[in-house]
A and B are shown apart, each in its own frame.
Chain A
């Protein structure tokens, strides 16, 4: 029996050790004087955090705190307001003169000058630097020389960028692009300090910018601590002492930590918790449309779908989808039924308006009639394709098919799930689909142009359906040449009328941004990109 006694002791030791963890707890600091720290959930950014290389939201959060550009989008209205830019002038919508305000510096003391911008943009565009956001500079004259489609670069800098003096530089574009200054709020256009070019590796491990925060420490894969920068002169000074971004690989775990008081802010409420979220958080839950739209794109490169008469079939399919029910039942209203090809986050001034009309309203009778008039579906069937590894894609695809089957007859619609996003992207680029496929689009800047030109303009960078319509292209050209912003917006809206007739892509719904926060913080809002406006959060 001695052995057994020993074993009992061992078991007791473990129990004691377990109970001892009770002492491990601890409260978090924070008082109402603006020095409290916000603890927020984060995902490990896939790419290195640098302005021209970050194209996803997690790295974007950091850039949003670290950098300020020529313009800044108002978090409420989405309007692009001058920030570092004193003025951006043009007479012909093609050649712009940018004048900077005085007094802006990087957190290491270096002045923000015209050169800081021009060097940063040339770096971002150059093919050797392999920056993901290089295409954002492709409107500038001389882009082909630094970033040819194949082969090596012919020049080091773009000829369209010229530094006049410390406070002024000029930009020459390849073509007229009246709303180009509005794009400059995007993070890829941020200025960079000298140290970025001199000690790139050092900069990446502890980025230095000109925004309201500085990086205190960055432990890759676990946490980034950002602290309010005292020397920041802008109007949007941080209202808190800093932000700790903690990496979570599972948003359920982050939500658990929010409930337990270990976290102040989660900006992605897991789908499983949507039913409880009102009970758990009450009015500390935010759910608002983001600059994201999901569509079903038709393969216009396939004759079966693009021949004359098929526009009726495409419209018919759109009317066979019960958007209201799907967004309510499956997405618990975290999606908003689409009525155009943009997003409500643009606001009415930005051009959001019901342009789809009847074609986006559920009407099974009319749908059946239209499909029959148009000569029926190719082969009598339609197959929907999407990747199914994220975003409940499988679930809504089934629901959409169900809806189509109810309207057009059983067995009409089938789904083609693709295992991974990487594989789906490969298939997109191969242009081999024989039925409609999912396209999710997140705009880079709150601009109606960004929802239409890349997706439906001839040879647009993400025109995966190869839609090409002369009337549409002409209207986009006209809008880009317009110097008056309101007129340009109207042209883009008119261009959508053609989309409503031709229906090259069925608008499904706008994706909402969601966030939940603890009682520890207040004044939490999301901007159009569904990123929390960190600098305005107050810690109680």
Chain B
């Protein structure tokens, strides 16, 4: 187990370097000069532009820029934003907690409600409540998040004013609930469907019949035998979904004015702040890698037949 984890951690290094390099090159390939864009429509001074480029090392060859960036990064230096001159570490420290709070809510909602609904439907396949759930999830899957976002905002904030339409204070968890639910709705539908199918299938498995024949109590059959086996695909999906929830919030964050990672990365893309995009994206890569490692380790917990050496 320990060796397996160590090997996986070592494998992360080339993946991390490769992905940051690709993002770095893509930002470089975009047309336009961020320093020039900063000057707006107005008159500007070429010597100011030149000296800013020099200071930021933007006049160096691309691979040398990447090397400088990466060597800074391993020492914990994310670099500096071009226009605002803020350390990118500060920017990250500002936006990540907001997004993490939002993600935790969304993720809890997805796991609890999604798996719950899946179990309710899966235990009685092809009944009315199963069909009802399938219809509900179909609606959620086919509805783009901005439609749902505006719809809920209009309903819950204007028609029946029970919540504020936007997030006024992102440390107030009650205000984050609505965006979290909107953010979670798509994955919720997937999780519910996945759980439902998995449970419905496993209900007919041999080991289930054996367990019933042995006279085990129903709560043990469902809670231990059925759940453990049925949750493996769901856990895989949930693991990857953590990353999606964190990065996929651009639209939702815009609708509810949440100052999180999605907004920041969008702004940085528009302003061509390469280092900011690469910095945030690198952290995302790390989160994806960590989540997939945890998922793989969870397999062993759920299925004792799986052993890591």
A48-B85, A256-B166, A260-B165 are contacts. A14–B112 as well, Cβ < 8 Å? yes
Question: Taking the nearest CB of chain B, how far is it from the CB of A511, in angstroms?
Answer: 11
Contacts of A150 in B (CB 8 A): 47, 50
Contacts of A253 in B (CB 8 A): 166, 254-257
Closest to A454 in B: B43
How far apart are the CA atoms of A195 and B40 in the complex, in Å? 29
Contacts of A3 in B (CB 8 A): 119, 123, 219, 222-223, 227
Closest to B51 in A: A130
Question: Taking the nearest CB of chain A, how far is it from the CB of B112, in angstroms?
Answer: 5
Partner among A127, A132, A425 whose Cβ is within 8 Å of the Cβ of B33: A425
Question: Taking the nearest CB of chain B, how far is it from the CB of A324, in angstroms?
Answer: 25
Whether the pair A462, B43 counts as a contact (CB closer than 8 A) is yes
Cβ of B140 under 8 Å from chain A: no
Partner among A423, A429, A444 whose Cβ is within 8 Å of the Cβ of B31: A423
For window 129-172 of chain B, which residues contact chain A by CB distance below 8 Å? Answer: 153, 157-158, 161-166, 168, 170, 172
Closest to B85 in A: A48
Interface string of A11-52 (1 = CB under 8 A from B): 100100111111111000000000000000000111110000
Contacts of A247 in B (CB 8 A): 259
Partner among A10, A149, A420 whose Cβ is within 8 Å of the Cβ of B30: A420
Closest to A44 in B: B267
Whether the pair A249, B36 counts as a contact (CB closer than 8 A) is no
Contacts of A48 in B (CB 8 A): 84-85
Cβ of B115 under 8 Å from chain A: yes
Contacts of B181 in A (CB 8 A): 18
Q: How many of chain B's residues have a CB under 8 angstroms from any CB in A?
A: 74
Size bin of chain A's contact surface: 35 or more
Partner among A10, A147, A220, A260 whose Cβ is within 8 Å of the Cβ of B113: A10
Closest to A424 in B: B32
Cβ of B62 under 8 Å from chain A: no
Cβ of A470 under 8 Å from chain B: no
Cβ of A103 under 8 Å from chain B: no
How far apart are the CA atoms of A135 and B42 in the complex, in Å? 10
Contacts of B123 in A (CB 8 A): 1, 3-4
Question: Taking the nearest CB of chain B, how far is it from the CB of A390, in angstroms?
Answer: 9
For window 29-69 of chain B, which residues contact chain A by CB distance below 8 Å? Answer: 30-34, 36-48, 50-52, 55
Whether the pair B164, A25 counts as a contact (CB closer than 8 A) is yes
18 A-B pairs within 8 Å (CB atoms) are namely A1-B123, A6-B116, A7-B119, A11-B117, A17-B174, A19-B162, A24-B174, A127-B47, A128-B51, A135-B43, A221-B95, A249-B253, A250-B257, A253-B257, A254-B257, A260-B164, A423-B30, A425-B37
Closest A-B pairs by Cβ, 9 of them: A422-B32, A7-B116, A461-B43, A422-B37, A423-B31, A423-B32, A22-B162, A21-B174, A24-B174
